Amino acid sequence: MYKAAGNRYQGMIYNRSGKSGLKLPAVSLGLWHNFGDTANFDNMKNMCFTAFDNGITQFDIANNYGPAPGSAEKNFGRILKESFMPYRDEMIITTKAGYDMWQGPYGDFGSRKYLLASLDQSLKRLGLDYVDIFYHHRMDPETPLEETMGALAQAVLAGKALYAGLSNYDGATLEKATAILSDLKVPFVINQNCYNIFDRTIERNGLKEKSNELGKGIIAFCPLAQGLLTNRYLHGVPDDSRVKTDGRFLKETSITAERLEQIRQLNLLAQERGQSLAQMALSWILRDGKVTSVLIGASKPEQILDNIGALKNVTFTDGELKRIDEIALK
């Protein structure tokens, strides 16, 4: 029977999500990869236990995470039932809807029909009465924003979610959505977007600054660029890497000689800082206090422990930041 470590809160940093009352761990665990039915269940449990024992209280899922779609929620629901239920009130459990989930016109994007039906399905798979944050997973160019935000409001009003979140929105749409949710008196607290040393999209599209201006938090997914900002690719592309074994989200063609050289140079800077490359990459995201949490993925518990080590040094000199930009943006 699992018993959480008594000192689990001593080494973690907790940041307030925007101007809300909700505090989130600076490092959160995402279940995008390695929690589907093709993964080892005992390894899933050990990763969750390692995360929680070290202060990671937030576990992030989506309706379609797998494979198969829904299986990550189902597997995490089993871990909750068997081991984590005594600690439910110490956890932030989140899920999302917005990408393709089931056949037909009602299983995708941002209609009220899809979002509320999906949330009901997610709660059944998780074995929960509510999730802490329910996200709309991506902008919908066809559904009126008022309808999508109204569905998030209904989820909160029905007690099926405590907070609303938005994922993959840009700054301009975020501002419009915030106004609607504010009028509806919905506790919208956080944006989830891709952000890392190589991908600065939320800086270019205004999301990072707008989110802070509006008093909303940010949680960064893919902070390690699908593993590129780790030691996995320092000597080329390994045969057991995600690029070779999966290839859906990180293509081998994108790992050029120039990219590999950037990775090596960044690793040298990380070594000078006394960090692993992954630790420096996570520290870089958290450096200015504008990102609430980094959302890590893992394939084994040791990676989680290494990532948490990033919190020992989130301070950069101007010279270090300049070098990172010179390497990554050339």
Q: Does 177 score more than 70 pLDDT?
A: yes
pLDDT averaged over the chain?
Answer: 95
By C-alpha distance, which of 303, 227, 306 is closest to 263? Answer: 227
**217 within domain boundaries:** yes
**201 within domain boundaries:** yes
**51 within domain boundaries:** yes
Displacement of CA 63 from its chain's centroid (Å): 14
Whole-angstrom distance, CA of residue 315 vs CA of residue 273: 10
Q: Which helix (H) or strand (E) holds 285?
A: helix 277-286
Residues in the chain: 330
**271 within domain boundaries:** no
**146 within domain boundaries:** yes
Kindly indicate the confidence band of residue 222, based on its pLDDT and cuts at 50, 70 and 90: very high
pLDDT of residue 234: 85
Displacement of CA 295 from its chain's centroid (Å): 4
pLDDT of residue 90: 98
Whole-angstrom distance, CA of residue 16 vs CA of residue 290: 10
Instruction: Count other Cβ atoms within 10 Å, centred on residue 6.
Output: 8
**181 within domain boundaries:** yes
Q: Are 252 and 303 in contact (CB under 8 A)?
A: no
Task: Note the pLDDT tens digit of each residue in 151-176.
Answer: 999 999 999 999 999 999 999 999 99
Q: Residue 14, by phi and psi: left (phi above 0), alpha (psi -120 to 50) or beta?
A: beta
Q: What is the residue type of 242?
A: R
pTM of the model: 0.94
pLDDT of residue 248: 56
Whole-angstrom distance, CA of residue 181 vs CA of residue 70: 28
**191 within domain boundaries:** yes
Q: Does 270 score more than 80 pLDDT?
A: yes
Q: What is the extent of the structural domain holding 164?
A: 14-236+277-315
By C-alpha distance, which of 105, 158, 115, 117 is closest to 137? Answer: 115
DSSP 222: S
Q: Which helix (H) or strand (E) holds 156?
A: helix 145-157
Q: Are 54 and 308 in contact (CB under 8 A)?
A: yes
pLDDT of residue 162: 98
Provide the CATH number for the domain around residue 310.
Answer: 3.20.20.100
Pairing outcome for strands 188-194 and 161-167: parallel
Domain count across the chain: 1
Q: What is the residue type of 306?
A: D
Q: Are 14 and 217 in contact (CB under 8 A)?
A: no
**270 within domain boundaries:** no
